[in-house]
A = this chain, B = another copy of it.
């Protein structure tokens, strides 16, 4: 195997090759739905009964028989939400006080909002005609028994949990979390201690190990079905790296290695296939910022080499590893990553897909992306991140001003939320 990266593999092709060789997650676990947040549903969640099962009040007011309206009715009891199972029922000429969400007493089929009645002692006067099911959710109006309410492959969100608990579905089958380890390599790396010491080391030429943290943060933020099992920093020592990966492969599904993926003598990734007895899937990705991204598969488990530069590593991650982890984890519904489409304000000529640092602005209902000046686009210009708002995920082609480009936004312009939200 050559040390130099000669033929770069396009992202699509790299992903296709990997998908052929990796093993998808198949183990499932049964969990209470409130513990399933961020996990992938492994079997369609089906309604076990109509919802609501019985008529429910949609208002605070008086449950009545619609045929009795308008009229003067006797209030014979109260059925506030949560204390409904007391066998209350109403007869002709009667009403029961209910609160929003309460099941109606037997016999009632409409609710008169309390602000529309006149109270006269133990009687109420209803002035208008109320139709059957007025201010009431009738049985089965929302979903029927047998309906699929959450399909397989859905990443369960807090909104789905609210939905399921509301209808009394309390348990579901999920894929177990995908286990990933992250190894940062590099003799020059150190972890932060005190501000003074860090500053001194950085000015001497040492490098704070931020790449693993950044990738781990991205996973924690946007890939809830992935569990980070290990995050370690190692020196550029082949034997140590191999020893570590071999042990990790016993209990994680995917290993990410940042640094050591370049074409130099000191780069170790290219020696892994032989040392681990694995198969090299591709070496070098057709991107700028993350070019050394490479992959080895050992017994169906991918070991992905990422750049040592934080943004280049993240770029390789977003383009390749993110869809790969979705594939392995059986995710059918992408999570809500703040990707936005924005109009470019300047032309771009892109030879290899790359992340362009952009400043975002929002005017007259349109989001615009302005690339930072050229020197700030270098992988080494990390400081430029503080002057940008996001990374445009460009393709290898020319862009004219006014063309739309997909941007991963790590902050958004204030005006973008207007006029709906006055941030």
Task: Write the A218-246 contact mask toward B (1 if CB under 8 angstroms, else 0).
Answer: 10000000000000000000000000000
A-B contacts, 7 listed (Cβ < 8 Å): A158-B213, A162-B214, A166-B207, A319-B420, A334-B412, A336-B411, A393-B420
Could you say which of A65-73, A124-132, A269-277, A377-385 contacts chain B?
A377-385
Query: Which of the residues B157, B170, B189, B393 comes within 8 Å of A410, measured between beta carbons?
Result: B157
CB atoms of A386 and B163 under 8 A apart:
yes
User: Nearest chain B CB to A264's CB is how many angstroms away?
Assistant: 4
> With contacts A159-B385, A170-B195 known, is A334 near B263, CB below 8 A?
no
Partner of A15, one of B171, B322, B323, B422: B422
Category for how many chain A residues contact B: 35 or more
A198 touches which one: B165, B389, B393 (CB < 8 A)? B165
Verify B380–A417 contact, CB threshold 8 A.
no
Number of copies: 2
Residue pair B336, A101 in contact (C-beta under 8 Å): no
Contact indicator B382/A163 (Cβ below 8 Å): yes
Q: Which residues of B contact A192 (CB under 8 A)?
A: 32, 34, 165, 170
Given A141-B375, A170-B192, A162-B421 contact (CB < 8 Å)? no
* Minimal Cβ-Cβ distance residue in B for A322: B421
A150 close to B (CB within 8 Å): yes
Residue of B at shortest CB range from A409?
Answer: B336
Contact A217 B158, CB 8 Å, known A102-B205, A198-B165: yes
